[in-house]
Amino acid sequence: MAKRKTKYTCQECGYESAKWMGKCPGCNNWNTLVEEVVAIQNPSRHTTTAQTSKAKAERITAIQSQKEPRITTDMAEFNRVLGGGIVLGSLVLIGGDPGIGKSTLLLQVSAQLADKDIKVLYISGEESAQQTKLRADRLGVKSDQLYVLAETNLIDIANQIEQLAPSFVVIDSIQTIFREEVSSAPGSVSQVRECTSELMRIAKGNNIPIFIVGHVTKEGAIAGPRLLEHMVDAVLYFEGERHHTFRILRGVKNRFGSTNEMGIFEMKEEGLREVLNPSEIFLEERSQGAAGSTVVASMEGSRPVLVEIQSLISPTSFGNPRRMATGIDHNRVPLLMAVLEKRVGLMLQNQDAYVKVAGGVKLDEPAIDLAIAVSIASSFKDQPSKPNDVLIGEVGLTGEIRRVSRIEQRVQEAAKLGFKRAIVPNKNMDGWTPPSDIEVIGVNSVHEALKATLGGR
């Protein structure tokens, strides 16, 4: 009889160890190593790779390229994030905070496909069929092509998929599914890895698109091994504040389309409704003539989005001034304040700084630097910037304004929403024709941008 072997696996990063440790060396988290039984395989039952492999290498010029067929839903925002629709045979992972609306989104997508006479199988491992029916009644789902299965055993799920032969499958969620051959508990690294591998085989072998829901950790990353995100074809994050009605579906990986695409939805009582013009939503509550408020045209994937950046600068009451940021990298605020102090002469070292991106959206591209810098200077001087200005540009450490990408699309979006002036890098002024109803001003430094927006006072 073979000796029973065990190992200790980190439930956060997948690090494996022969003995238990309080702190994981891989991710530095405490008390995340869990004991798991190592499956013993009989080597006589397996042949070598050379004996079983039948694939042959081909010249890349001899391989016939073909366009991936896609299934489109009634949600244009959802289709955009996926790169134009759902690819047959794809495995897509959707992660998000609890209660953010992942199940609601996928149930609505399933209902729309079922209304197009596409057979859909919705597998719920966290809710009973009756609970799923209650959500379906609230969303107005009444299609006979939508099937619901409350099951967590992967073998039974695979059998149901084989018998029903659906054209679209949803797994909610991967952390509840288990294989009997794996001795660890559902949601562990081994279970998630093995179940995802089997689902990938089903998706590719039967040409069925499968969407799986993944839980997230307290840091916001998808729970389980990092291998999970590498195995799937696309990774989508469903984000948003619980106290706001807006939800953002963001693509961070997509083998069949561009990454960093963003779709915006609004949570209503009857479900999620797509927002076709997010710039108007983010700017509808903007205060006119308020110091510390600026507007930036940020690119989210292939779409320009105009959002408001707010800053509040006040004298500090502590030994060390506070630097807080919401919606942007908090390290960017002290960097830009140092540039303003050194290159422009603003005395900010004894000031508390609070910077926020209004609307709950998160921005991470360099083109928002100029808007943040002008917002900070506007609040410090207690002097509002011109309300019809939009600012675009990256700020260097020497105070220069650097070139950004897709300037024409950004300016066109600003002109469409009624802005009269665009402050852009001077290096971006050549090679394109701006719209006739907006004035484009090129600047070379932060000092020039402040003079154009605040009048140099």
Ligand-binding site membership of 304 (annotated) = no
Ligand-binding site membership of 125 (annotated) = no
Ligand-binding site membership of 101 (annotated) = yes
Pairing of strands 351-357, 323-326: parallel
* Distance, CA of 385 to CA of 332 (rounded, Å): 21
Nearest by Cα to 383 from 391, 375, 372: 375
Ligand-binding site membership of 263 (annotated) = no
* Distance, CA of 170 to CA of 158 (rounded, Å): 13
Ligand-binding site membership of 257 (annotated) = no
Amino acid letter, residue 56: K
Query: Which residue(s) pair with 400 in the sheet?
Result: 445
* Distance, CA of 251 to CA of 234 (rounded, Å): 7
Ligand-binding site membership of 369 (annotated) = no
Query: For 145, what's the count of Cα atoms within 13 Å in the CB-facing half-sphere?
Result: 17
Pairing of strands 120-124, 146-150: parallel
- Residue-level length of the chain: 457
Query: Which residue(s) pair with 310 in the sheet?
Result: 293, 356
C-alpha Rg value of the chain to the nearest Å:
26
Report phi then psi at 244, rounded to 5.
-115, 155
Q: Which helix (H) or strand (E) holds 286?
A: none
Which strands make up the sheet holding 33-38, listed edge to edge?
A: 16-17, 5-10, 33-38
* Distance, CA of 193 to CA of 224 (rounded, Å): 8
Ligand-binding site membership of 96 (annotated) = yes
Ligand-binding site membership of 97 (annotated) = yes
SS3 at position 428: helix
**Which residues are part of a known binding site for ATP?**
96-103
**Which residues are part of a known binding site?**
96-103
